[in-house]
Every structure is written in structure tokens, then in C-alpha cells.
Structure 1
Amino acid sequence: MRIISGNYKGKKILPPNDKSTRPLKDLTKESIFNIIKHSKLLNIDLENSNVLDLFSGIGSFGLECLSRGARRVTFLESYKEVLTVLKKNIDNLKQQNSSIIIEKDIFAENTLKALNNKFDIIFMDPPFKEKKLVDLLDTIIKLELLKDNGIIIIHRHKKEEDIFPNEFNIIIEKNYGISKIIFGKTLG
């Protein structure tokens, strides 16, 4: 695993210590960033953006954002086994000043409410079996965590049939191997 582009291109990212964490594959990550950069359907500038990386794991997505010029990434992860690796990856790239780590359960009542910030990009990479995505999206919409021109990116198993809130507009959906990437915006 590595950083694909930007200031830290080619730098290795430490993998998880156990098999229960599914890190974002480099090919999928590269596809996401190609769509962000080149799609005419998205109006997003990664440079100086504020990013929320939910279910961040080892930090692959958020660290790639920082390498490509994001101003700040908030990593939200509660799994203790992977938090150690996430912290090491942030330290190895010397990104402590551009990173915030929140070590809480994403579904706990006040976790997202405590963010008190708006984001240009919200990335969600939950376990493929996670069924409470609609609740999470409802909370994001209710708390208005996404900036007006911001995007939400969701990484899911390609066979998963999620139901999204009416206020979530899917802009792009692409399949990659066993997974799919959904790009969307909130309406409002």
C-alpha cells in the first residue's frame, strides 16, 4: 500500500495488523481520485479542502487527500487494533498538524454532532456488511456537515443494495472488482 500521487507519492502506508480490516485498494483509490480530478459532473477542488474520512481504518484515503493538498483531514475510527496503525501512518508522513483523529463509535449519538465543522469531501468506507448507512447519511444531512458544493463518496460491495435518503443525490456510480464507488451530494 502506498500514496499514489502528490507530495508523498510512492511513500508506503503501513497495512492493518489483522484480517478484519479491509483497506482501500490502490486501484480503487486511484479511480476515486481520477474521478474527483477529471469528472465534469463534480465541482470539487481537493486543494485546501476539508475532508472527513469515516471508518478511516489505516487512513489510506485521508492521507492521499493530504498528499494531494487537502488542508485538513478528520479521521473517524473506533477500532483499537487499527488506530495504532493509523497514528503511525500519520506520524510517518508528518501530518499531525493537518490531521484530527476522533476515536469514537461513529453511530454514537453525539459523535458527528461534536464535529462542529463543514466538509468539502466526506468519504465513507464502512465494513461491507454495515446496514446503517441510511442512518449515517440522515445524520450528515440533518447536521449539514457537507458544504454546498461538497461531495460524499461511499465505498460499498457491488452487490449491496443500499437505500439512500431522498436528500442524497447520486451523481456517479462505478463498479471496481468486488466493490462500487458512489459519488453523491446532499440536496437542500
Structure 2
Amino acid sequence: MRIISGYLKGKKILQPLDKTTRPLKDITKEAIFNIITHSNKFSVELDNSKVLDLFCGVGSFGVECLSRGAKYVTFVENYSKTLNILKQNIQNFKLKDKCEIITDNIFDESFLNNSTFKYEIIFLDPPYKENKVSQLLSNLFLKEILTDNGIIILHRHKKSVENFPLNFKILEEKIYGLSKVYFGILS
């Protein structure tokens, strides 16, 4: 896996050796950034944005955001084997001053209670078998951490059937190989 664009373009991202973590494929990642840049269904700027990367794994999405001009990324991961690789990637790319790592339980009600940021982009890439996505979206809505023009991007398996909360409005839905990507807002 590599960084596709920006000042870190072409650099390799360290990957886990075990199969517990599912890396975001380059083709899906590239398609997501093309939609962020060119969609007429929403308007979010990556330059100088703050990004929340939930279930971030080794950080490939957040690192890509930083490479393309994002101001700051909050990485959220709590699987220890993946967390160590995430830390190595951040160190290798000298990104410590542009990010933070949170290891809290994403589904805990107190998650992000002390957040000082509002985010332009929230990226969720939970395990395909994770069935509490609706609960997480509801919690994010209650936390009011998405900016007014912000976007939520959710990566799922193309055959998954989601029961989204009523306050999650899907603006765009795309399928890439085995992946389905939702672009939405909380209202």
C-alpha cells in the first residue's frame, strides 16, 4: 500500500502481518478522494481540514489526508498490533505534530466528550462484521463534532445492509469492487 498523492506521494505504508486488519485498497482510497474533490453533491475542502479517522488501522486514509493538505488528523484505533504499526507510520512520515492517536472504545458514551475539534471529514472504516454503525453515527450526531459543511464517509462491504439512523442523510453511494462507500451528513 502506498500514498497516492501529495507531498508524501509514492511512500509505502507499513501493513500488519496478521489478517485481523483489513487495509483500505488503493483503488477505493483513490476513488474516495476523487469524489471529495469533484462531487457536486457536497462541498468540503481537504486543504487545512481536520479529519477524524475512526477504525483507522495503520492510518492509510488519515496519512493520505495529511499528504494532500489536511491540517490535522485524529486517528482512533485500539487493536494493539495495528496500533504499533500506526505509530510507526506516523513516526516514519514525521507527522507527530499534525495528529493525535486515541485508543478509547469508539462505542463508549464518553468517547470524544473532551474533543476540542469540529471535523470537516469523518471517515469510518469499521470491520465488515461490525453491526453497531448506526449507534456510532447517532453518537457522533449527539457530540456535534461535524462542521456545518462537513462530510461523513463510511466504508462497508458491498453486500452489507445498513440500518442508518434518521439523522444520517446519504448524499452519494458508490461501489468499488467488494467495497461500498457512503458519503453523508448528519442533520
Measured against aligned partners, the alpha-carbon deviations of 1:90-127 in whole angstroms (never above 9, x if no partner) come to: 11110000010001211122122232321000000000
Structure 1 partner of 2:41: 41
Please tell me whether the aligned partners of residues 3 and 12 of structure 2 are also in contact (alpha carbons under 8 angstroms): yes
Q: Give the drift of 1:42.
A: 1.7
Query: 1:166 Cα deviation (Å)?
Result: 1.0
- Give matches, 1:82-97, under 5 Å: 82-97=82-97
2:9 is equivalent to residue 9 of structure 1: yes
Q: Is the Cα contact below 8 Å between 2:51 and 2:121 reproduced in 1? A: yes
**1:109, 1:142 → 2: CA distance?**
10
The residue correspondences of 1:16-31 to structure 2 (distance < 5 A) are 16-31=16-31
Query: How much is the aligned-residue C-alpha RMSD, in angstroms?
Result: 0.8
Instruction: Name the counterpart of 1:127.
Output: 127
Task: Structure 2 unaligned segments of length 5 or more: list them.
Answer: none
Match of 2:170? 170
More deviation, 57-66/16-25 = 16-25
Q: Displaced runs of 4+ in structure 1, greater than 3 A?
A: none
* Cα drift, residue 34 of structure 1: 0.4
Q: What is the aligned partner in structure 1 of residue 75 from structure 2?
A: 75
8 A contact 1:17–1:82 mirrored in 2: no
DSSP-derived class of the 2:31 partner: helix
SS in 2 for 1:114: coil
CA distance in 1, matches of 2:53, 2:77: 9
Provide TM-score, normalisation by structure 2: 0.98
CA distance in 1, matches of 2:99, 2:12: 18
Deviations for 1:146-174, whole angstroms, at most 9, x for unmatched residues?
Answer: 00000000000111110111111100000
Identity %: 57
Gaps of 5+ in 1: none
